Structure 1
Amino acid sequence: MPAPARFSQIALPLAHGHSSNPAAIVVGNANARIIEALAEPSAWPFGTAILMGPPRSGKSLLGRWVEEQGKATVIDGADSESETTLFHRWNRAQQNGEKLLLIADGESWHITLPDLKSRLGAALHVEIGTPDDAMLGDLVLSHATRRGLALGEDALTYLIPRATRSFADIEKLVGHIDRLSLERKVAPTLGIWRDALEAVQGPEQARLF
């Protein structure tokens, strides 16, 4: 049986990968205030918001949620776009009274075009933070539920103190647990949790505590 979805999340009406389950955004300390801010585009300075965060932290899912709600036009991967193109896109949005959400990775976006830099400097800037223990547990359960993988409180008690505070690593960890469980044809227990931790983070981390 899948793990119970006891966590707070925003379901999206969009299929995720090859799963029949809907994609979902887990809500926790790292993104709750960001979701509140993105839900109110009328408060964005010049109708523009910039969303940043680490890999696999749900930036694109949040962008899809904003777009599905009809709140704004979203440019995902804005840091990979031509700065001149973005400058003209921002101007067009201003002329049309259009709300604009730009999504970029972490702190790696350094804008060199002065006109674009000054305009985006005035936008709302929000960044997904580091998940705490509660959110890490919710992320584990969310990934497990989507995979139909049974992970209970005993799994969380073992995994969470040893897991890195990384969205990407948590996703990999649950994927490894699922794969090892299928390969060995047994339900995931301590041996599988430990081996999955070693595969994702190294043996030292798996032996902690």
Structure 2
Amino acid sequence: MGREDFLVAPSNEAAVAAIDRWPDWPAPVLVLVGPAGSGKTHLAEVWRTRCDAVRITARDLDEDMVKALGEAGTVILEDAPGPALNERALFHLVNHLRELGGYLLITSRSYPAQWAIALPDLATRLKAAAVTALSAPDDMLLRGVLVKLFQDRQIAVDEALISYMIARMERSMEAARTLVEEIDRRALAARAPVTRRFAGRVMDELSDPGEPDEE
């Protein structure tokens, strides 16, 4: 999943620019903030591929990992702060990476200032972190993502179908990927062309899983 696969739009351009600037970051810690489905995981994966970063979720972080993570040099901490963030572990990880000249990318749905951090030293470290944000994908970005997803599967679709889907779908990257995957799967099974009517039926069935497939 390379940088060329990540489409840039007003909703994510600041975050993409921040990732592209690495290793010339204003601080060794960068917090990537955005709602579910905004592309945080994809963008973090772009950075992971570029610098061979180690990925860990906030809920799994503990103090026994700090030394090895720090020595890795580049680390992604996902879904912070999570329900039970080990604040001492994160504090020591930030310090260890700073000492070794490493970098930490944190993904979160909220800004660090909104986290209920009890450890004052960690709160101070997080205040010094760089922060960049993504918003929910806009029409332009969703259009580009849908077109690319269909192209990757060698499915020819017209602009009218894309516009129809954008007007009815959940506004997230994950929803776009799931929808195109399901349309492709059902079209192959039914040996049917991907038309507006066909896509609409798939979208209706996905929104109401209790209904059987009509393939």
Q: Report TM bin, short chain.
A: 0.7 to 0.9
2: distance between equivalents of 1:25 and 1:200? 26
Aligned match of 1:63: 44
* Deviant stretches of 4+, over 6 Å: none
Does the Cα contact within 8 Å between 1:45 and 1:124 map onto a contact in 2? yes
Deviations 1:7-27 (A, max 9, x none): xxxx618xxxxxxxxx82222
User: Size of the alignment, in residue pairs?
Assistant: 182
In structure 1, how many angstroms separate the alpha carbons of the residues matched to 2:174 and 2:44? 18
Give the match's secondary structure for 2:155: coil
The structure whose residues are more often helix, as a share, is 2
Corresponding residue for 2:68? none
Q: Which residue in 1 is equivalent to 2:75?
A: 74
Match of 1:107 in 2: 110
Superposed CA offset, 1:84-123 (max 9, x none): 211111001111222221223x129724232212211221
Matched position secondary structure for 1:188? coil
Structure 2, unaligned runs of 5 or more: 54-72, 209-215
- 1:153-172 counterparts in 2 under 5 A? 153-172=159-178
Task: Name which of 169, 182, 207 aligns with 1:176.
Answer: 182
When structure 1 is superposed on structure 2, of 178-187 and 35-44 the one drifting more is 35-44
Aligned equivalents of 2:198, 2:111: Cα separation in 1: 36
Please tell me the residue identity of whatever aligns with 1:61: H
RMSD value, Cα: 2.7
Residues of 2 paired with 1:111 and 1:75: CA distance? 21
Contact 1:63 1:74 in 2 (8 A): no
CA distance in 1, matches of 2:92, 2:26: 18
Q: What residue number does 1:88 align with?
A: 92
Which stretch shifts more, 51-60 or 132-141? 51-60
Q: CA deviation at 1:34?
A: 0.9
User: In 2, are the aligned partners of 1:137 and 1:156 still within 8 Å (CA)?
Assistant: yes
Distance in 2, matches of 1:133 and 1:36, equals 20
> Alpha-carbon deviations, 1:135-157, whole Å to 9, x = none?
11111112222333322223113
Give, in whole Å, the separation in 2 of the partners of 1:78 and 1:134. 26
TM-score of the superposition, structure 2-length normalised? 0.72
* Runs of 5+ unmatched residues, structure 1: 1-10, 14-22, 203-209
Which secondary structure does the structure 2 equivalent of 1:69 belong to?
Answer: helix
- AA of the residue aligned to 1:39: D
TM-score (norm 1): 0.74
Change (3 A) 1:199 1:172: farther
Contact 1:87–1:115, Cα closer than 8 Å, also in 2: yes
**Conserved? CA contact 1:63–1:76, under 8 Å:** no
Deviation at 1:78, TM superposition (A): 5.4
Q: Does 1:141 align with 2:147?
A: yes
CA contact (8 A) 1:169 1:200 kept: no
Sequence identity (%): 27
* Contact kept in structure 1, 2:37 and 2:171, CA below 8 Å: no
Inter-CA distance 28–77: structure 2 relative to 1 (3 Å threshold):
same
Q: Which residue of 1 aligns with 2:2?
A: 12
CA distance in 2, matches of 1:199, 1:114: 50
